[in-house]
């Protein structure tokens, strides 16, 4: 990787300067803590270490200070700015922010400023949170390392010579570096959970349809879901509280009320049946990762859960199904980038030539690869063999999950087969990068929920994440189990991890 | 090398997707896409003849809103983001090869 800062592998991980989101919100709401002081402290952390991390495509320092001052004014006037009052939040740069550049880390959206805010962006503002920046990602969320960003990779705060994971690598790194206590990402095949695991933070992929996707720039519409990053399970639940619920602007949004996630965390796992997914504990999973997952299973058992072995035979075909379905949907979704209505245009004599010139210059190699793969999988003569078959495999995976959830309330597995890898390790061979998503993809295909919780470190002293999976709308018991794991973790929490590891 | 996808196939899908690829890129993409399709061949052994396809994780039906006026995006703001506009519309180069 280029641009080494000469600091070797010194850790850039740190606790957020003012504590958790819950602590900050409580302080700001009571008037004991100034939102402006909070924002200034986080902006100072960003200024000090961001050049070495590159978590952000854009830091919104002035906007954040203005918003914080407004929150302080409201508190002084006796108003309650909301459950996330004054909490700094980082937004993945595929979430639309009105009048603020939104790039998807792609040249093709060069200069574009969305004419509207994503629903989650509106919800966070309404809850009193303060957006401090737009975070880096693999271009259009296609990747597992942020190496596919048009603006250069993000570094893992625990070891800058390693990737932060992806595609929401910037959001994960922002939280792990102490730039913000919480962040939003999106998860199409593991893009929240895998970077959370690699950066030693909590990452949650909600049930498909639980969180509105209005204003999330589409990658694969039947798989995409927005979700939280946080340093603690409680903060992830607090953030989920703010964004969960029906939105008439998203036709895939689930109607009906949602429970409170942050107030049901401490109920433990006594009586819950938890299944360890045997298919995700064998070949391809590093020994140190598998050992931590077994240790996590023991911790859940010690807390009163019943732990058994769950088999999801079709999970083995998840990767194949995903890498046909997701590119097929992407090839359709990304047809809209044609140089006509927004973003980049490369001039040419005819419209057809202009579109080809624009797309060729605007998209990076991985995006082109997926568009071509998806176009091929959908093309006449191959549709049945590839896309059609993948949709049927998806049915098998859903059936196998449903059968497992008759026996178990929750499932357990690794989040990622290994700890964070080094820059360049997997870029030459796209398939090797795709294999990295084997543990996270099945949940996207089934539409269920899953969370990655930091659970100790590997042989290389890098963070390991354990994944708790739940059936659709099973976030409440899932978060209870995550809380138990957090309390039992061999290395308790990111804040300590950052100081202990190196 | 795999016969799952040929150089001509890749050139064809690149054309369909409005992407220009160089000869060198064509070679690279062909071998990379073939590797992915080779991996995906593991589903060939599965008998899924009687399995219904799932295009979406949950059953979806059309969602309709009440037919009343609501807020819409601001036209000037939307057009302000376009590379080229004229008379309140998006402007493009010639579409049929004639002089613009």
CA distance B43 to chain A (A): 6
Query: What are the two backbone dihedrals, phi and then psi, of residue A350, each rounded to the nearest 5 degrees?
Result: -115, 165
Q: Does residue B11 fall inside a structural domain? A: yes
Contact between residue A313 and residue A400 where contact means Cβ atoms under 8 Å apart? yes
Tell me which residue of A358, A18, A413 sits closest to A179, measured CA to CA.
A18
ipTM score of complex: 0.94
Q: Coil, strand, or helix at residue A352?
A: helix
B98 is a domain residue: no
* Residue A216 CB-half CA count within 13 A: 28
pLDDT tens digits, one per residue of A166-182: 999 999 999 999 999 99
**Half-sphere exposure for A340 (CA within 13 Å, toward CB):** 17
| Bridge-based pairing state of the strands A449-457 and A202-205 | antiparallel
CB A458 within 8 A of CB A292: yes
Is residue A7 scored above 60 in pLDDT?
A: no
Please indicate whether, in this complex, the C-beta atoms of A341 and B65 are within 8 angstroms of each other.
no
pLDDT at A184 (0 to 100): 99
Contacting B residues, span 19-38, partner chain A, CB-CB under 8 Å: 19-21, 29, 32-33, 35-37
Domain range enclosing B12: 7-43
Q: What is each CA distance from A304 to A272, A307, A362, A447, A470, in whole angstroms?
A: 8, 9, 54, 28, 18
Tell me which chain B residue has its CA closest to the CA of residue A376: B13
Query: For residue B13, is it within any domain?
Result: yes
Is residue A149 a contact partner of residue A105, using CB atoms and an 8 Å limit? yes
Which pLDDT score, from 0 to 100, does residue A9 have?
62
| pLDDT < 50 positions in chain B | 1, 100
| pLDDT at A324 (0 to 100) | 96
Distance from CA of B22 to the nearest CA of A (A): 11
Tell me the mean pLDDT in the region A42-56. Answer: 97
Bridge partners of residue A309, in order along the sequence: A276
CB contact under 8 A, A394 and B74: no
pTM of the predicted protein model: 0.96
Segment holding A61, helix H or strand E? helix A61-76
- Measured CA to CA, the distance from residue A206 to residue A140 in angstroms comes to 20
Whether B94 sits inside 8 A of A446 (CB atoms) is no
In terms of Cβ atoms closer than 10 Å to its own Cβ (0-12, 13-18, 19+), residue A238 is: buried
Of the listed A34, A149, A167, A212, which one is catalytic?
A: A167
How far is C-alpha A334 from the chain's CA centre? 21
A113·B81 Cβ contact <8 A: yes
| The pairing of beta strand A449-457 with beta strand A56-59 | unpaired
**Which is catalytic among the residues A106, A186, A191, A446?**
A191
What confidence tier does A493 reach under pLDDT thresholds 50, 70, 90?
low
The reply to whether B23 falls in a domain is: yes
Does residue B31 fall inside a structural domain? yes
For the record, the structure tokens of A173 come out as: 């790194």
At A351, the pLDDT band (50, 70, 90 cuts) reads very high
Pairing of strands A226-230, A182-186: antiparallel
**pLDDT score of A498 more than 60:** no
What is the least distance, in Å, from the CA of A82 to any CA of chain B? 25
**Is A323–B39 a contact, with Cβ atoms under 8 angstroms apart?**
yes
Residue A343 makes CB contacts below 8 A (sequence gap 6+) with A108, A109, A110, A111, A112, A337, A362, B81, B83
Structural domains of chain A, ranges and CATH numbers in brackets: 21-314+394-500 (3.90.1300.10)
Quote the pLDDT of residue A10: 81
Cα–Cα distance for residue pair A277/A284, rounded to 1 Å: 14
With respect to residue B74, please indicate whether it lies within any of the assigned structural domains. no
Interface of B with A in 39-98 (CB under 8 A): 39-44, 46, 48, 51-58, 60, 62-63, 65, 73-74, 77-78, 81-84, 90, 92-97
Closest residue of chain A to B9, computed from CA coordinates = A376
Distance CA(A414)–CA(A177), nearest Å, equals 23
H helix intervals, A113-153: 119-126
pLDDT above 90 as % of chain A = 93
Q: What are residue B30's DSSP bridge partners?
A: none
Which chain B residues are Cβ-neighbours of A213 within 8 angstroms?
Answer: none
Identify all chain B residues contacting A222, using CB atoms and an 8 Å cutoff.
55-57
> Active-site residue among A11, A34, A92, A134?
A92
Q: Which residues of A304-333 are buried (b: 16+ CB within 10 A; e: fewer)?
A: ebebeebebebbbbbbbbbbbbbbbbbbbb
Q: Using an 8 Å CB-CB cutoff, list chain A residues near B26.
A: none
Residue B30 sits in a domain whose CATH number is 1.10.20
Judged by CB atoms closer than 8 Å, whether chains meet at A351 and B93 is answered as: yes
Report the pLDDT value the prediction gives residue B65, as an integer from 0 to 100.
Answer: 86
Specify the pLDDT at position A147: 98
Chain B residues with CB-CB distance to A386 below 8 A:
37, 40
CB atoms within 10 A of CB A469: 32
Query: Is B56 domain-assigned?
Result: no
pLDDT at residue A452, as a whole number:
98
- Would you state the torsion angle of the CA atoms of residues A371, A372, A374, A376, taken in this order, to the nearest 10 degrees? 160
Q: How confident is the model over A122-162, as pLDDT tens digits?
A: 999 999 999 999 999 999 999 999 999 999 999 999 999 99
The backbone region for A76, taken as left when phi is positive above 0, alpha when psi lies in -120 to 50, beta otherwise, is alpha
Nearest CA-CA partner of B13 in B35, B30, B31, B37: B30
Q: What is the average pLDDT across A321-349?
A: 97
**A91 Cα distance to chain centroid:** 10
Residue of A nearest to B71 (CA): A116
3-class DSSP state of A88: strand
The residue of chain A with its CA nearest to that of B96 is A350
Domain count, chain B: 1
DSSP A350: B
* Inter-chain touch B53–A350, beta carbons under 8 Å: no
Residue B89 sits at φ, ψ, to 5 deg, of -130, 160
- Cα–Cα dist A50/A427, whole Å: 24
The pLDDT value recorded for residue A500 is: 37
**Are B40 and A323 an interchain contact pair (Cβ–Cβ within 8 Å)?**
yes
In a domain, B16, yes or no: yes
A222 catalytic? Reply is no
Query: What pLDDT was estimated at residue A379?
Result: 93
Which of B54, B63, B67 to mutate: most A Cβ within 10 Å?
Answer: B54
Question: How high is the pLDDT of residue A11?
Answer: 87
Parallel, antiparallel, or unpaired for β A226-230 and A202-205?
A: antiparallel
Q: Is A92 a catalytic residue?
A: yes
3-state class of A95 per DSSP?
Answer: strand
Look at the alpha carbons of A370, A372, A378, A383 in this order and tell me if their dihedral is positive or negative: negative
DSSP A364-417: -HHHHHHHHHHHHHHSTTTTIIIIIHHHHHHHHHHHHHHHHHHH-SEEEEESSS
Q: Residue B38: closest CA among chain A residues belongs to which residue?
A: A320
Distance CA(A42)–CA(A64), nearest Å, equals 10
pLDDT mean across residues, chain A: 95
CA proximity to A172, closest of A145, A147, A152, A151: A145
Residues paired with residue A186 on neighbouring β-strands, in sequence order? A226
């Amino acid at each position: 990787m280029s641009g080494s800062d000469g600091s070797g592998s010194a850790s850039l991980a740190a606790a957020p300067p003012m504590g958790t989101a819950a602590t900050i919100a409580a302080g700001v709401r009571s008037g004991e803590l100034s939102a402006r002081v909070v924002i200034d402290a986080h902006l100072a952390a960003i200024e000090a270490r961001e050049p070495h991390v590159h978590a952000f495509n854009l830091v919104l320092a002035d906007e954040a200070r203005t918003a914080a001052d407004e929150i302080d004014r409201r508190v002084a006037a006796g108003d309650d700015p909301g459950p996330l009052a004054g909490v700094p939040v980082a937004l993945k740069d595929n979430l639309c922010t009105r009048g603020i550049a939104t790039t998807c880390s792609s040249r093709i959206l060069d200069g574009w400023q969305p004419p509207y805010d994503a629903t989650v962006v509106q919800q966070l503002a309404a809850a009193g949170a303060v957006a401090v920046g737009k975070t880096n990602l693999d271009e259009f969320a296609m990747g597992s390392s942020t190496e596919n960003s048009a603006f250069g990779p993000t570094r893992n705060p625990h070891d800058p010579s390693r990737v932060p994971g992806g595609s929401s690598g910037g959001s994960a790194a922002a939280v792990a570096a102490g730039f913000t206590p919480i962040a939003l990402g999106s998860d199409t095949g593991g893009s929240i959970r895998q970077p959370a695991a690699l950066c030693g933070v909590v990452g949650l992929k909600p049930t498909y349809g639980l969180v509105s996707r209005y204003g999330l720039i589409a990658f694969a519409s039947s798989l995409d879901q927005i979700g939280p990053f946080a340093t603690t399970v409680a903060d992830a639940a607090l953030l989920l509280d703010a964004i969960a619920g029906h939105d008439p602007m998203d036709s895939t949004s689930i109607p009906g009320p949602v429970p409170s996630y942050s107030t049901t965390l401490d109920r433990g796992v006594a009586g819950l049946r938890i299944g360890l997914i045997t298919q995700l504990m064998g070949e391809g999973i590093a020994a140190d990762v598998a050992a931590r997952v077994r240790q996590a299973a023991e911790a859940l058992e010690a807390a009163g859960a019943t732990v058994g072995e769950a088999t999801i035979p079709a999970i083995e075909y998840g990767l194949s199904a995903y890498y046909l379905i997701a590119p097929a949907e992407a090839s359709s979704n990304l047809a809209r980038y044609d140089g006509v209505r927004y973003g980049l245009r490369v001039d040419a004599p005819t419209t057809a030539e202009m579109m080809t010139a624009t797309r060729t210059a605007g998209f990076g190699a991985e995006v082109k690869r997926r568009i071509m793969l998806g176009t091929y999988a959908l093309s006449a003569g191959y549709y049945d063999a590839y896309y059609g078959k993948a949709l049927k495999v998806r049915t098998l995976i859903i059936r196998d999950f449903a059968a497992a959830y008759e026996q178990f309330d929750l499932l357990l597995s690794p989040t990622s087969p290994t700890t964070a890898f080094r820059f360049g390790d997997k870029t030459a061979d796209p398939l090797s990068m795709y294999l990295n998503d084997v543990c996270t993809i099945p949940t996207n295909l089934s539409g269920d929920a899953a969370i990655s919780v930091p659970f100790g470190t590997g042989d290389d002293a890098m963070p390991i994440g354990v994944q708790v999976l739940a059936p659709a709308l099973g976030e409440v018991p899932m978060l209870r189990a995550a809380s138990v794991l957090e309390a039992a973790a061999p290395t308790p929490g990111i804040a300590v991890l950052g100081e202990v590891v190196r | 090398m795999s016969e799952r996808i040929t150089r001509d196939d890749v050139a064809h899908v690149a054309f369909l997707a409005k992407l220009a690829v160089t000869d060198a890129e064509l070679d690279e993409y062909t071998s990379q896409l073939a590797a992915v399709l080779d991996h995906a061949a593991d589903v060939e052994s599965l008998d899924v003849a009687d399995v219904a396809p799932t295009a979406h994780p949950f059953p979806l039906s059309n969602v309709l809103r009440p037919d009343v006026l609501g807020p819409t995006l601001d036209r000037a703001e939307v057009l302000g983001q376009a590379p080229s506009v004229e008379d309140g519309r998006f402007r493009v180069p010639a579409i049929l090869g004639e002089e613009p």
